[in-house]
Amino acid sequence: MTASPELGTARTASPDLLRSVFRQHAAGVAVITAAGDRPVGFTATSLNSVAAEPPLISFGVGTSSFSWPVVAEADHVGVHILGEHQQELAATFARSGADRFGPSTYWRNGPEGVPVLDGVLAWLVCRVVARIPAGDHRIVIAEAVVGDPTGAGRPLLYHQGRFTALRD
């Protein structure tokens, strides 16, 4: 018989409980971009590989975020896997009101007009196939169209409420 967790510390589900539990979950850090009247982007730790055939990914985006109106209408999005050297870039794309595509962000117009960030570990341009309501978020499912997995470095992680790197 295996030991069970102490139930005396269990708490009723709430947004705070969910955030507390997921602070214990190390997640890779990505930036999602889309083209609109102006480019938009946000830091995401919800990126997932969904299927290999066809090549599908998913991520969550808050409907109150500045990026959502553009992502809601975009045919394509950019998905960028950040390296441990890109903590400041991750923070810029996570910060409300930040000039995300300002002079300190190196990027170019990529396939399908999607903003593609420079210096990332890997990137994809994906065609949006679904936007699924999920509470105050939408889960976006998109099919990879083109990408580049050849960036150098180690991945950036998010754990305990901060960006961090792998340890040897």
Q: Which helix (H) or strand (E) holds 73?
A: helix 68-73
Tell me how many helices (H) and strands (E) the chain has. Answer: 3, 12
**Structure confidence by residue, pLDDT tens digits, 18-70:** 888 888 888 999 999 999 999 999 999 999 999 999 999 999 999 999 999 99
Looking at residue 2, its pLDDT comes to 61
Check which CATH number belongs to the domain holding 64 and give it: 2.30.110.10
Non-local CB neighbours of 102 within 8 Å, separated by 6+ positions: none
Rounded to an integer, the average pLDDT of 122-148 is 98
Domain total of the chain: 1
In-domain check, residue 23: no
Residue 143, burial from CB neighbour count under 10 angstroms (0-12, 13-18, 19+): middle
In-domain check, residue 65: yes
Question: Is it true that the peptide bond before 54 is cis, omega within 30 degrees of 0?
Answer: yes
CA dist 160 and 19 (Å) reads: 10
Span of 77-81, 90-94, 160-164 with lowest mean pLDDT: 160-164
Split at pLDDT 50, 70, 90, the class of 1 is low
Is the separation of the CB atoms in 153 and 84 below 8 Å?
A: yes
Tokens 């910060």 — which residue?
Answer: 95
State the residue range of the domain holding 109.
28-154
Split at pLDDT 50, 70, 90, the class of 105 is very high
In-domain check, residue 56: yes
In-domain check, residue 3: no
- E-assigned strand segments in 92-161: 107-109, 115-117, 122-134, 137-148, 156-159
CA dist 31 and 82 (Å) reads: 7
In-domain check, residue 11: no
In-domain check, residue 59: yes
